[in-house]
């Protein structure tokens, strides 16, 4: 048998896959570009560099190593997002490092996570400042947060990652 290199079907299939991936990335970036800023998201990777400008040639000033950390997107540039972290630091990240998944971080003092959105409800967990979790829903001044499978309701005033009075379904 003679090896004549890759056949045309293999090359065509690879090219179609590349075009499809580029289309997905472009549509995801277009969706982010159409959202009104500011909006909330979270880091989608275990490591994410924050840069001083929207491009890889700009110096990185921070390396985040906390997947799921809530961030506020304050500006959008093609392929890039300018974000604000919980400490107030602002900078640019590659767009695919910022997810639309809502997250919140406990702020202030230890917060009680309750079994229902009511100040008299049973406390099921307590969370220290800095604890990060996925936000399922918010309403009436309460948010349901899940921290590695341990969930509960916390008063929205104890969270960084939601706007005052915001409703999330």
CA distance 125 to 60: 37
- Domains annotated for the chain, with CATH where assigned, are 33-101 (2.30.30.40), 104-160 (2.30.30.40)
Q: Is the pLDDT of residue 16 over 60?
A: no
User: How distant, in Å, are the alpha carbons of 17, 70, 164 from that of 144?
Assistant: 39, 15, 15
- Assigned token pair, 139: 């309403």
pLDDT tens by residue, 158-168: 999 999 999 99
Q: What is the helix (H) or strand (E) element at residue 81, kind and residue range?
A: strand 80-84
Q: What pLDDT score was predicted for residue 26?
A: 46
pLDDT digit string, tens, across residues 35-90: 899 999 999 999 999 999 999 999 999 999 999 999 999 999 999 999 999 999 99
Q: State yes or no: pLDDT of 12 exceeds 60.
A: no
> 70 near 48, Cβ under 8 Å?
no
């Amino acid at each position: 048998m003679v090896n004549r290199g890759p056949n045309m079907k293999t090359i065509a299939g690879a090219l179609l896959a590349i075009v499809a991936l580029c289309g997905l990335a472009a549509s995801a970036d277009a969706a982010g570009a159409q959202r009104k800023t500011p909006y909330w998201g979270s880091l989608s990777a275990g490591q994410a560099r924050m840069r001083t400008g929207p491009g890889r040639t700009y110096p990185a000033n921070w390396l985040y190593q906390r997947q799921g950390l809530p961030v506020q997107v304050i500006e959008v540039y093609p392929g890039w997002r300018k974000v604000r972290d919980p400490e107030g630091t602002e900078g640019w990240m590659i767009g695919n490092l910022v997810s639309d998944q809502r997250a919140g971080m406990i702020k202030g003092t230890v917060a009680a996570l309750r079994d229902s959105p009511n100040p008299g409800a049973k406390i099921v967990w307590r969370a220290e400042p800095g604890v990060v979790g996925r936000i399922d829903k918010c309403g009436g001044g309460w948010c349901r947060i899940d921290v590695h499978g341990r969930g509960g309701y916390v008063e929205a005033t104890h969270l960084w990652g939601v706007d005052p009075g915001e409703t999330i379904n």
